[in-house]
Amino acid sequence: MTITPGGGGLKLPGQGGARLGVPSGAAARADLPEIYEADPGDALPSICVIGASGTGKTHQLGLLVKHLATKGLATIVVSVENKHQGIARLRPLVLPIGAPVRTTTGARPATATEKYNRLIAFRDELREGKYREHLGRPVGALVTDGLMEIGAIVKSHKLDNMPTSRGGEQNTFRAFDEMGVAIIDLMASFREAASDAGKAYGIAPLTVVATCGEVLKDGKFQAMLPGNQAPNMLAYQFEAIFRLAVEATEMGSTEVQYVAHTTPGETAYPQTGRWDAKAPSGLFGQKIVNPNLGEIYEKLVTNYKEGAE
């Protein structure tokens, strides 16, 4: 299937490819979905862009939105903080999670739990096939800007609703790590809602892109997410992770350049420490100078389709 308008209809489970019979016995009584042949045209990348402040994460989102627009596709942005001004001129759909709550007397700030419930409600409606068109164009990507801010919402919500012991104390140390896992689980559920779930409604899957801040901790760059497990689990939620950095053009030079690392390894500047990234083998160099997320997206999609030929 093509992701641009005018392509063929979505191949639903059981409508194309080889179907396998359901065995008799106990397995036949299980509530199993039908087995279907996957369509490589439905393969869209899930991408995470990690980097410290000022490395160009939001700028890269703008490049992606602009690229998708040239293909007749719209973008929906889940915005936690009002920092999407740079891409507003491209007219993406924006879900303002932190918008005030309207009341009969005016408006008030949304609580952490209300923001959290908005995230859950949006995910559930996405599963049902909503938010898939904008100004006559199909939506091609779901962008989350960013995971660190969503993590703050989940953390505040969990702390506000955390059970207490008989003495009234809250075990925040243990809960902190559990919150990190909850954030990763929430992101995984967004991915599921944007991809496989939509097939039940005959809707093409969406590319999922998230940004995340980072910090140098114990000599290693890692995503700014609560707990010890969340940063380690992040890599398993995305097919491609690009770590953005501003580096000297060469050792000792005062000239700098924007880069995107594509493989795990060591970096000597601007600060020594391990960094984590990943991409399909052989598709990119170890480091992309002046990266363009639109071009990166296109290269990933083309790679998926060409691999099936």
The gap from C-alpha 85 to its chain's centroid, in whole angstroms, comes to 20
Of 67, 72, 59, 57, the residue nearest 299 (C-alpha): 67
Parse the chain into domains and list their residue ranges.
43-306
Provide the pLDDT for residue 128: 87
Provide the pLDDT for residue 172: 62
Provide the pLDDT for residue 83: 64
Provide the pLDDT for residue 296: 97
Please say whether the structural domain 43-306 has been given the CATH code 3.40.50.300: yes
Total-model pTM = 0.83
Provide the pLDDT for residue 21: 54
Task: Give 252's contacts (C-beta < 8 A, 6+ positions apart).
Answer: none
Strand boundaries in 224-296, DSSP class E: 240-248, 256-261, 265-267, 273-275, 287-289
Provide the pLDDT for residue 28: 58
Of 46-55, 173-182, 186-195, minimum mean pLDDT range: 173-182
Provide the pLDDT for residue 269: 61
Task: Give 100's contacts (C-beta < 8 A, 6+ positions apart).
Answer: 107, 108, 109, 110
Average pLDDT over all residues of the chain: 82
pLDDT of 200 higher than 90: no
What is the C-alpha separation between 302 and 297, in angstroms, rounded? 9
Task: Give 183's contacts (C-beta < 8 A, 6+ positions apart).
Answer: 147, 150, 151, 154, 155, 225, 226, 230
Provide the pLDDT for residue 23: 57
Residue 159 DSSP class: H
Q: Which two three-digit tokens encode residue 266? A: 């060591």
Of 42-56, 152-166, 255-269, 278-292, minimum mean pLDDT range: 152-166
What is the C-alpha separation between 149 and 124, in angstroms, rounded? 20
pLDDT of 95 higher than 80: yes
In the predicted model, what is the mean pLDDT of residues 103-123? Answer: 94
Helices (H), the chain: 26-29, 57-70, 85-88, 112-127, 147-160, 172-194, 229-234, 293-306
Provide the pLDDT for residue 114: 95
- Percent of the chain with pLDDT strictly greater than 90: 38
Provide the pLDDT for residue 25: 61
